[in-house]
Amino acid sequence: MTPAVQAAKRAGIVFELHEYEAVEIGDGDYAVAVAAALGLPPGRLFKTLVASVDGRLAVFVVPADRQLDLRAAGKRVTLADRAAAERATGYVLGGISPLGQRKQLPTTVDESALAWETLLVSAGRRGLQIELAPGDLVALTGATVAPIAK
């Protein structure tokens, strides 16, 4: 059981796990490939991005088929390098979850998440997604909701 799943269980929220055959991380968009593997519209599966905002790491959760709008995310924003993201969250790239991170980083969820009854995010490892209500995601991560995807 991953730390993300443990966090959801501790919180007592309703969730469902979805396993899939892990896809290779290549030049394409990993999150879109995961949505396809699960037979879901890519706007319902959200990817977790770690970025440096003014020198401090933060998490941004955006739909699989969209990108983080760096301007909307703040001033001096760059995506964190792989090693920094993995070290800060305790997860490997392709399996970074907004839930159950080693140290909970400030989190922003794209406002489009609220349009879904449930959405999916990584459950903390490649090949596993967790489906939960957007309100539960926001509550468990202490997230801000904002228009951050383009």
Banded model confidence at residue 30, pLDDT cuts 50, 70, 90: confident
Query: Which helix (H) or strand (E) element contains residue 97?
Result: none
Q: Which tokens is 13 given?
A: 């929220």
The pLDDT > 90 percentage for the chain reads 83
Asked if 65 contacts 53 with a C-beta cutoff of 8 angstroms, the reply is no
| C-alpha–C-alpha distance, residues 36 and 126, integer Å | 14
Residue 36 has pLDDT above 70, yes or no: yes
Residue 22 has pLDDT above 90, yes or no: no
pLDDT digits (tens, 9 = 90+) for 71-92: 999 889 999 999 999 999 999 9
Average pLDDT of the residues of the chain: 93
List, in order of start, the domains of the chain with CATH numbers.
3-146 (3.90.960.10)
Residue with the bigger pLDDT between 100 and 22: it is 100
